[in-house]
Amino acid sequence: MKRLVFLVPLVLGSCADLFSTNVTLTDDKTAQVKVAFNIAGQCNDHQTIMDDTGTTTWNETPTVADGVLQQCTIDAQWDGDLLSLAKLHDDAVDKCASDGDPTAHCDPKKLDLEMSFTITGASFVAGAQKLTRDQLITLTARATTGGAVMFELDKSTALPLALDADPGVKGEFHAAYLTGGKLHVTAVAHIVLSGADVRRLQEQSPRGTLIVDLSSHLEGSIDAHL
């Protein structure tokens, strides 16, 4: 009888190891950082607008010679939500929960989240017209989340550009994951257009937009017991 008593914990320990597993969840997304502003008139606009994508502020400075616009310098900032973590959060909750117990198999809060990004393209559009980066006189762009830098690029940056998220960006992603919310991003851009391009673009639309195309891969792993 004494031998049987000592064997029971060993059998239970083996079963616990046998029914443990590592669950991997993934979510691949594409997104666009869009910084839009007015290009009508003589490049002297200063506005802040709010819409369903966020808040955009811009300031324009003209360079004029003999009454003709030569260059238009635009400094703009966009604040808004870029990526949703709802799917990854919901998938983790679904894997961990059972019979009304949200942590029956695992704790969703303990998901080990990794991520990578790729900038796949960048361009300036107005209506049907599109300018590639090499057609711009100057371009610099930077995106941050919670103060941590997601990406930086300029006119000469080779694309596509693969990026690894730094610890600050990972922290912001994890915070958004815990609530099943969205990643808030601030993007700033400095653009210089030629006067000729401004006049040509104005024929298409009074509004121009810098678009940075992103793809992201999110992957999380969590230990679960079945």
Note the pLDDT tens digit of each residue in 15-60.
444 457 888 999 999 999 999 999 988 899 999 999 888 999 999 9
Report the C-alpha gap between 193 and 136 in whole angstroms.
6
pLDDT tens digits, residue range 114-173? 999 999 999 999 989 999 999 999 999 999 999 999 999 999 999 999 998 889 999 999
Angstrom distances, CA of residue 188 to CA of 75, 78, 191: 7, 6, 10
Residue spans of the domains in the chain: they are: 22-225
Question: With a threshold of 0.75, does the pTM exceed it?
Answer: yes
Q: What are phi and psi of 40, to 5 degrees?
A: -75, 160
